[in-house]
Structure 1
Amino acid sequence: MAAKQVSLDRLDQRILDELQRDGGLTNQQLAERVGLSASPCSRRVRALEDAGVIRRRVTLLDHRKLGLSLTVIVLIGMDRHTPERFASFEEQVAAYPEVQECYLITGQEADYQLKVVVPDMDTYQEFLLNRLTRIPGVSGVHSSFVLRRVIDNTELPLAYVES
């Protein structure tokens, strides 16, 4: 189901650009960076939150400094393509903190693509054998190990958003 697109003006886009770079800005700092006074800036941010454009603010952590050195891209094949089977898989995978991303995909021999972050290969093996492959409906798993993060960006390209 497609989400209704929200219309943004240049100030909204500037606010979003700044918040994507640093979600921890105070309202005063944000207002100064985009050329507004604090009150109108706060109202605009609140409107963007109410419209669902800003879903939440997070802090990005350095995975390596926390000992989470292994990133795995996992392709999952399912035995049956039914809404119930997919919903059950998605519900179970959502409960695993190791799973950073889960996409229902097409164009591959797989149905899902996951991004999994763990400390090491032993932890991944335990996750794979004792949890992931035990989810009902999982019929195939293909793991690819990330050697280096070339681009690791969370900012959306707002230049494509119509004003």
Structure 2
Amino acid sequence: MNLDRFDRAILQILQADGRISNTELAQRVNLSESACLRRVRALEQSGLIERYAAILNQQKAGLPVNVFVNITLDRQDEPDLRKFEESVRNIPEVMECYLMTGDYDYTVRVVVSDTADFERVHSKYLTRLPGVARVHSSFALRTVQKARELPLR
């Protein structure tokens, strides 16, 4: 999709404040309200804007700990990958899961309340995922950067 400067400005503002009114958005990007709304609807229909959501404070939600889990599977056949991916989607504490190149097959970000909570997730879910051969976990000590807005060029 080709984005012009108005589309990029609209997207940048909506990434920072998805609840902004169309009137305010139109003023900020210097468009009429109807033109601005048409552009937002087109961006939604194209799928570039997937959805709108509230961003919760992880600490205040009682899940202050991030654990990065590297998982190696027994085999990397397509059916095995598919079974693993279907199962990992059903673990509520899994925030992100990436198929990787390199030493591990998957990297997963898990949020938990503390080490005991992670032990529960590890034994109840992670080691029981289909095809898992090895699980290597690293606890994040501090979040240095966590961007939520994509850089639009």
TM-score, normalization: structure 1?
A: 0.91
| Aligned position for 1:154 | 148
Which of 102, 105, 111 is the equivalent residue of 1:111?
Answer: 105
The offset of 1:81, in angstroms, is: 0.7
| Aligned position for 2:3 | 8
Residue 122, structure 1, aligned to residue 116, structure 2: yes
Distance, in Å, in 2 between the alignment partners of 1:112 and 1:30 is 40
Identical-pair percentage: 49
| Aligned position for 1:44 | 39
| Aligned position for 1:98 | 93
Give the CA RMSD over aligned residues.
0.9
Which of 23, 30, 33 is the equivalent residue of 1:35?
Answer: 30
Distance, in Å, in 1 between the alignment partners of 2:32 and 2:107 is 44
Distance, in Å, in 1 between the alignment partners of 2:114 and 2:24 is 40
Give runs of ≥4 in structure 1 deviating > 4 Å.
Answer: none
| Aligned position for 1:138 | 132
- In the TM superposition, what are the counterparts of 1:59-70 in structure 2 within 5 Å? 59-70=54-65
Distance, in Å, in 2 between the alignment partners of 1:42 and 1:31 is 8
Are 2:71 and 2:135, in contact at CA under 8 Å, matched by a contact in 1? yes
Name the aligned partner's letter for residue 87 of structure 1.
R
Q: Which runs of 5+ in 2 are unaligned?
A: none
| Aligned position for 2:68 | 73
Are 2:87 and 2:130, in contact at CA under 8 Å, matched by a contact in 1? no
Residue 24, structure 1, aligned to residue 19, structure 2: yes
- Deviation per CA, 1:110-132: give whole Å up to 9, x if none: 10011111111111101111111
- Deviation per CA, 1:34-91: give whole Å up to 9, x if none: 1112111111011011111111111111110121111101101011111111111111
Distance, in Å, in 2 between the alignment partners of 1:135 and 1:66 is 26
The offset of 1:95, in angstroms, is: 1.2
Distance, in Å, in 2 between the alignment partners of 1:130 and 1:20 is 36
Q: Which runs of 5+ in 1 are unaligned?
A: 1-5
Name the aligned partner's letter for residue 12 of structure 2.
D
Counterpart secondary structure, 1:158: coil
Distance, in Å, in 1 between the alignment partners of 2:129 and 2:61 is 28
TM-score, normalization: structure 2?
A: 0.97
